[in-house]
Amino acid sequence: MASLKDLRNRIASVKSTQKITKAMQMVAAAKLRRAEEAAAAARPYADRMASVLGNIAGAVEGDGPPLMVGTGKDDVHLLVVFTAERGLCGGFNASIVKLARQHQRRLEGEGKTVKFLAVGKKAWDIMRRDLSGKIVERVDFRDVKQIGFDEADMLGEKVMELFAKGEFDVCTIFYSAFQNVITQVPTAQQIIPADLSGAGEEKSETGGVAVYEYEPEPGAILDALIPRNIKVQILHAMLENAASEQGARMSAMDNATRNAGDMIDKLSVSYNRQRQAQITTELVEIISGAEAL
Amino acid sequence: MADSFQFELVSPEKLLMSEAVTAVSIPGSEGFFTVMAKHAPVMTTVKPGIVLVSKEGGSEERIFVRGGFADVNENGLTLLAEHAEPADKVDLQALDQSIKDAEEDVADAEGPEAKAKAQHQLDQLREAREGLAG
């Protein structure tokens, strides 16, 4: 049985832990709002980009650039795994990596080669143990405060460079889509070859009426547009991920704070009970001492 | 007064402008052009330079963009800019820095094709710089 002093120390230490988790929860809540705003602000560009792309893809004669149609094979897959830079956010990082691992197992079962690109410190931390041979590159944004287009640009260039060197045929990104504070959905999205099925639908609604003039010719615009689109999708993934991370951290820290509260209650009960027992024992000793006289 | 049309300026990070305007001059990669209401549908790439927006009521706004795409259709004009900011707030030092970077790219470029591309980039940036200074 722990002594009274031990119990008192325990309670004090749990209390200070609770203070920390509470503070982290509030910080995450503030950051979440900012991250959500950033994700919402980036949406119009992605939407316009998709409709422009849908428009132009229909106008191109013959094959598009390789980034759009792929290499014609799908032997080597590059999985880009986006995670957070820090932990303490529940199952956030683990669930993204888990989804990527499922894909990896499925693809390898089909006899394909899988390579990884780890974005974020945690992806590397989790995967390096048994996948380090398959990770072709790792990137982290530890020093970046607010994810912006520059980061997406850098990452996009990196991916396209690998593609140009023929390092892979299909590229899929893994990130966590933000739904609300409680729900974040790990998502896989193929970016190379570009999946234009969604954009194509939009085209059938608005297209057909307008006859576009293209300057320079459609192929040249598409050559410039596709890499941009890839970067935009990467940016979108990163922003969603940032919002999800804060959401996950917020609910994880909320749980931790509540757990700490429960623990303090339990410890206080046993502390009080023990104190009472001690007083009773002392009283009994005094009384029986007095009776013996 | 000229008819107005919907103009949207979006950068990857956010929607910068969405309002009715009377005319917009755009530095297209194949030459400057001005879009007014009922312009024929055009799609073009944009080079770095100044976009001149004439708003309803006659006021004008100068916006510096760093490349992008312009899409004119029956709904109006959408400008997907890589980077956009009001011309009077442009960080000239940052621009000079990217000109310097571009100069280095030209020097480092291997093969005539890469060189021509880098040189093209540099020329566009220089032109934009002059446009801003003037």
Strands B5-10 and B76-81: parallel
Nearest CB partner across the interface for B15, out of A41, A210, A228: A41
Per-residue tokens: B87? 């011309």
The answer to whether A215 contacts B15, with C-beta atoms less than 8 Å apart, is no
Q: Kind and range of the H or E element at B129? A: helix B111-133
B41 in contact with A, Cβ within 8 Å: yes
Distances (CA, A) of A164 to A97, A113, A146, A284, B134: 26, 18, 29, 87, 40
Q: What is the mean pLDDT of residues B66-81?
A: 86
The answer to whether B41 contacts A56, with C-beta atoms less than 8 Å apart, is no
In a domain, A290, yes or no: no
Alpha helices in chain A (DSSP H): 4-59, 66-69, 92-109, 121-131, 149-164, 197-206, 218-292
A130 in contact with B, Cβ within 8 Å: no
pLDDT single digits (tens) B80-112: 888 888 877 777 777 888 888 888 888 887 777
In a domain, A263, yes or no: yes
In a domain, A269, yes or no: yes
Please state the three-class secondary structure of A160-179 as a single string.
HHHHHCCCCCEEEEEEEEEC
Number of domains in chain B: 2
CATH number at residue A18: 1.10.287.80
0.85 surpassed by complex ipTM: no
B43 in contact with A, Cβ within 8 Å: yes
Q: What is the CA radius of gyration of chain A?
A: 28
Position B28 pLDDT exceeds 60: yes
Asked if residue B104 and residue B82 are part of one domain, the reply reads no
What's the domain range around A113?
A: 28-249
- Tell me, rounded to whole angstroms, the distance of Cα A153 from its chain centroid: 18
pLDDT single digits (tens) A71-81: 777 889 999 99
pLDDT single digits (tens) A262-273: 999 999 999 999
Asked if residue A146 and residue A60 are part of one domain, the reply reads yes
d(CA B73, CA B16): 19
Asked if residue A270 and residue A213 are part of one domain, the reply reads no
Asked if residue A168 and residue A72 are part of one domain, the reply reads yes
* Chain B residues with CB-CB distance to A154 below 8 A: none
Position A200 pLDDT exceeds 70: no
Asked if residue A261 and residue A239 are part of one domain, the reply reads no
Q: Which of A 227-246 lie inside 8 A of B, CB atoms? A: 228, 231-232, 235
Residue A186 is predicted with a pLDDT of 92
Asked if residue B60 and residue B83 are part of one domain, the reply reads yes
The type of residue at B38 is K
Asked if residue B82 and residue B98 are part of one domain, the reply reads no
A48 in contact with B, Cβ within 8 Å: yes
In a domain, A169, yes or no: yes
In this prediction, residue A197 has a pLDDT band, given cuts at 50, 70 and 90, of low
d(CA A227, CA A194): 10
Asked if residue A219 and residue A157 are part of one domain, the reply reads yes
Asked if residue B45 and residue B111 are part of one domain, the reply reads no
d(CA B54, CA B4): 10
What's the domain range around B63?
A: 5-87
Asked if residue B80 and residue B95 are part of one domain, the reply reads no
Per-residue tokens: A155? 């990452």
Asked if residue A198 and residue A55 are part of one domain, the reply reads yes
CATH number at residue B33: 2.60.15.10
Contact (CB, 8 A) for B122 and B47: no
